[in-house]
Amino acid sequence: MIVAKGLRYTHPGTPAGTGPALDGAEFSVPSGALLCLCGVNGSGKSTLLQLLAGLLRAEGGTLDVAALHCPGGEAALRRHAALVLQDADMQMLGATVAEDLLLTAPPAHTPQGAAALAAAREAAGRFGLGAHWDSPVHTLSYGQKRKLCLAAALLAAPGLLLLDEPFSGLDHPAALELRDILARNRAAGLTQVVSVHELEPVVDMADLMLVLDGGRQVLFGPPASVLDRVRAHGIRPPCSWTARREIVPYE
């Protein structure tokens, strides 16, 4: 599904003598897998997510997602992948829940528009937002805003879902809800990349882990093969791994 070879990117305006934001990432992720992308702030996680979303064009290396090849296929990749940002307020464009979910829908009086409306209402209900259908988005809680962004992304039926720090700021019940969504996506065969600082909420669901440090890929593989070495890169291993070398479900 995803094959990256030597990916390199430097943000415009980077001071001379400063290294690239991403330098030489090489990894592969099979279709339907969940990749846990981790690293401290400034490690290159968001840059890699933007490359995977087709929002940036690599200055070196190649990226293949499904049948799309980059550099060159970024426009098609933007249609294939959905990126959900950490800051929901930057992603919501509609004034209400309904408007945000129907931004790209055909006119309601057409058959296609009626189908889109039904799909949006179903998504709102599935994400616990049905009672907020006509609510202004600014009245939603933090967790509800995050769910709205995720619902809107999944309505587009992406082939690749990219989540930037989705557990950040969530309370425990909301984190459990998000895990349930990830599990349902995985059961449906959707390939997912989940960026995190803290491993605890997602590592048991991950097929693979990729660790970035200072823009460079330092670790990659199944969680059990990586967890003994993450602390050296500023990441805390799960408590169950430290205590018993086990990866247990988040509860």
pLDDT per position as a tens digit, 27-86? 999 999 999 999 999 899 999 999 999 999 999 999 999 989 999 999 999 999 999 998
What confidence tens digit (pLDDT) does each residue in 123-133 have?
Answer: 999 889 999 99
Tell me which CATH homologous superfamily contains domain 2-91+157-244.
P-loop containing nucleotide triphosphate hydrolases (3.40.50.300)
Indicate the SS3 state at residue 70: strand
Integer Rg of the chain from CA: 19
For residue 195 the two structure tokens come to 């960026």
Cis previous bond, 71, omega within 30: yes
Contacts of 15-24 with CB under 8 Å at 24 or more apart are: 19/214, 19/215, 20/59, 20/215, 21/47, 21/215, 22/47, 22/48, 22/51, 22/212, 22/215, 23/215, 23/216, 24/61, 24/216, 24/217
- pLDDT at residue 169 above 90? no
Average pLDDT, the chain: 93
Averaged pLDDT for residues 175-189? 93
- Where residue 192 falls among pLDDT bands split at 50, 70, 90? very high
What confidence tens digit (pLDDT) does each residue in 9-20 have?
Answer: 999 988 877 889
What confidence tens digit (pLDDT) does each residue in 147-164 have?
Answer: 999 999 999 899 999 999
Give the pLDDT score at 106: 85
Displacement of CA 146 from its chain's centroid (Å): 12
Give the pLDDT score at 200: 93
Phi, psi values for residue 55, rounded to 5° = -85, -20
- Where residue 183 falls among pLDDT bands split at 50, 70, 90? very high
Burial of 216 from C-beta contacts in 10 A (0-12 / 13-18 / 19+): middle
CA distance 81 to 103: 18
pTM value is 0.92
- Where residue 136 falls among pLDDT bands split at 50, 70, 90? very high
Give me the residue spans of the domains in the chain: 2-91+157-244
